[in-house]
Amino acid sequence: MIERPLSPETRDENLTQMADRDRPLDLLVIGGGITGVGIARDAAHRGLRVGLVERRDFASGTSSRSSKLIHGGVRYLQLGDFGLVRESAAERSVLGHIAPHLAHPTLMVIPAHSRRAHLALNVGLWTYEKLGSIDANELHTMWDREETLARMPLLRPERLYGAATHYESITDDARLVLDTLKDAHTAGALVANYAEVTELHVERNRVGGARVRNMITGSDCDIEASVVVNAAGPWVDAVRSLEGPLPPKRLHLTKGVHLILPRTCLPVDHIVVFTAGDQRSVFVVPRGEVIYTGTTDTDYGGPADRPEITAEDADYLLTAIDRAFVTPGVGPEMIVSAWAGLRPLLHEEGKAPSEISRKDEIMVGHKGLVSIAGGKLTTYRRMAERVVDLAVESLDRSQGVHGQIAVCQTDKLPLAGGDCSREGLQALESRLGERYPEIPPATIARVVAKYGTQSETLLDPIADSPDFGEPVATGTALLRAEVRYAIEHEMALTLEDVLDRRTQLLLFSLDQGLGAVDGVAEMLAERLGWNTSHTESETATYRALAESLLPGKIKQEPAENGRAAKSKAAPRSRSTR
Ligand code: FAD
């Protein structure tokens, strides 16, 4: 067990240790999204010497741009993917136990517009519950029209027959990555962000390591490993191409956009699923002072870094809200922010984006590079188990480790912050409220919901320096202690690392975290030794990022009836949805 925190110094030490030629790794993982960190965690708990490198920040790819739902996979029933339904439902339950602070069960309401649809939902959810062994206290219920309208008065009454309701869990995808990563680190994994694999080492026709560029210093190092796993998400093919020409089985990237709107413009308390104009299911999720709605699902062929959000994407989602809810004028001018993520799916000839299976697939290259693509946030732990099983088989063939490696145990071990029940978290919140009466109760509640049992360590420094109990700037609730924690315990190295992935202010605060920028920059500058010009450039980069998430084009174009003119002129082709 490793006690040292995940600080900037630990990052440097980890890179040095990974590059130690006298102690090559058993396993090198490329990519610090949920897939990669899940693999590193599983491998570390089995006692393997594992390293993980991430070219930007942990969770900076798809894993901070998902719909943030740990879901049982009811939707996959329609695709006949029963295995995936079973696995997703089981994993939703596992996550509720190993990370109760990151899996908040929430009612999902699915309106039905005919007796037939109502019946089909009832049968579908019954089948799902049987397949997924759903807990008795989470079984679905059916509402008739009267009850649906009484509980959800904002739904359009026209053609409404009733609704089905069941439970899914809301998560925080980037924090799920971080808390998985931190548990991997505690179990002995060597991890580093801002470390990009630029070449693979091939010896005797086998991949046996990689050249890694330290993106902070610009220096290169060589890391040797018996097995190299490519968990690079949308960049899986780019990494596979370092091994040689790509085989026929390729990635098929599809883009999913979400919009964030103030909660006041659609004050729902449940997740609501409804259909867009092309009959695809979309949803709205309540989250603090905002709601988010998503998602689109369109083919994507552009660069994988920061896919852009178009007026057409926004129009598709806003029109869907209009079809489902009585909302006086939800228009593009209300968008607080937006995000786009890329699904790293495996191409299936002739299938539209929504029809391509979400199942994961492991591919072993001709020189032994193990690549994993597809899959879900929800099922990441099982994906990791399959990859590590394969790595252990390979180690057994090369080094005869049979019987010396522990079996997977990640379903029983808590993630960082998850060593507590839901009731325990409530007790912790009360205890911390009493210990820190100067901190607003809402802030304590937010900290506990986000960090679980790690909240104690996060707030500890306040005892010696009460300053840490203060907000980082007036008008923001972000505590200086949270920023300190992000730097000292979660390897945050940039403003974006703190304000996006570690605290979610970029996406979920009405001001995109801009009110906290200067205060956070000052703390980072002091700790990381930034000079004035570096601090200014960091601040400008963050402001530009926040600006880029506002679908500004919509605002600039003359609107017709509250919708972007361009979108009306260029309707979306149904086949791409
Ligand atoms: P990523 O998170 O993209 O991680 C790959 C990492 O590899 C990146 O951080 C990248 O920087 C790094 N990398 C790339 N090249 C290199 C290199 N050369 N060296 C080092 N590092 C490198 N799943 C759910 O269960 N629930 C949902 O609600 C859900 N909603 C979704 C909504 C959308 C719009 C999308 C797109 C996906 C959704 N998913 C959902 C699926 C889920 O988000 C993805 O399956 C998952 O996040 C993929 O994680 P990953 O680690 O494979 O990829």
Looking at 137-141, 294-298, 358-362, 388-392, which range is the least confident one? Answer: 358-362
| Pocket flag, ligand 1, residue 256 (CB < 6 Å) | yes
Q: Is 268:286 a contact under the CB 8 Å cutoff?
A: yes
Contacts of 376 by beta carbon, 8 Å cutoff, 6+ apart: 73, 88, 358, 360
Query: What is the rounded CA–CA span in Å between residue 11 and residue 13?
Result: 6
Q: Per-residue b/e over 129-162, b at no fewer than 16 CB within 10 Å?
A: bebbebeeebebebbebeebbeebeebbeeebbb
* Alpha carbon of 64 to ligand 1 centroid (Å): 7
**For residue 13, what is the domain's CATH number?**
3.50.50.60
Banded pLDDT at 558 (limits 50, 70, 90): very low
| Cα angle for residues 275, 279, 281 (degrees, 5° grid) | 45
Would you state the pLDDT for residue 567? 37
- Is the pLDDT at 100 greater than 80, yes or no? yes
Query: What is the rounded CA–CA span in Å between residue 523 and residue 502?
Result: 15
- Is the pLDDT at 112 greater than 70, yes or no? yes
State mean pLDDT over 241-249.
89
State mean pLDDT over 114-128.
94
Q: Is the peptide bond before 295 cis (omega within 30 degrees of 0)?
A: yes
376 within a domain of the structure (yes/no):
yes
Is there a single domain that holds both residue 231 and residue 191? yes
| Pocket flag, ligand 1, residue 36 (CB < 6 Å) | yes
Is there a single domain that holds both residue 480 and residue 385? no
What does the pLDDT look like over 224-238, one tens digit per residue? 999 999 999 999 999
What does the pLDDT look like over 482-513, one tens digit per residue? 999 999 999 999 999 999 999 999 999 989 99
Looking at 39-43, 264-268, 443-447, which range is the least confident one? Answer: 264-268
| Pocket flag, ligand 1, residue 38 (CB < 6 Å) | no
- Closest ligand 1 atom to residue 379 Cα is 25
Overall number of domains in the chain: 3
What residue's CA is closest to ligand 1, atom 35?
66
| Pocket flag, ligand 1, residue 67 (CB < 6 Å) | yes
Average model confidence (pLDDT) for the chain? 91
| Pocket flag, ligand 1, residue 62 (CB < 6 Å) | yes
| Cα angle for residues 388, 393, 395 (degrees, 5° grid) | 90
| Pocket flag, ligand 1, residue 307 (CB < 6 Å) | no
Note down the domain range covering 345.
74-172+253-349
Is there a single domain that holds both residue 264 and residue 339? yes
State mean pLDDT over 412-421.
97
Task: Tell me the pTM.
Answer: 0.94
- Is the pLDDT at 572 greater than 50, yes or no? no
| Pocket flag, ligand 1, residue 66 (CB < 6 Å) | yes
What residue's CA is closest to ligand 1, atom 24?
377
Q: Is 26:49 a contact under the CB 8 Å cutoff?
A: yes
- Is the pLDDT at 34 greater than 60, yes or no? yes
- Closest ligand 1 atom to residue 294 Cα is 34
- Closest ligand 1 atom to residue 239 Cα is 18
What residue's CA is closest to ligand 1, atom 37?
66
Is there a single domain that holds both residue 273 and residue 341? yes
Would you state the pLDDT for residue 569? 31
Would you state the pLDDT for residue 1? 66
Longest distance between any two alpha carbons in the chain, whole Å: 71
Is there a single domain that holds both residue 156 and residue 269? yes
| Pocket flag, ligand 1, residue 417 (CB < 6 Å) | no
Is there a single domain that holds both residue 302 and residue 221? no
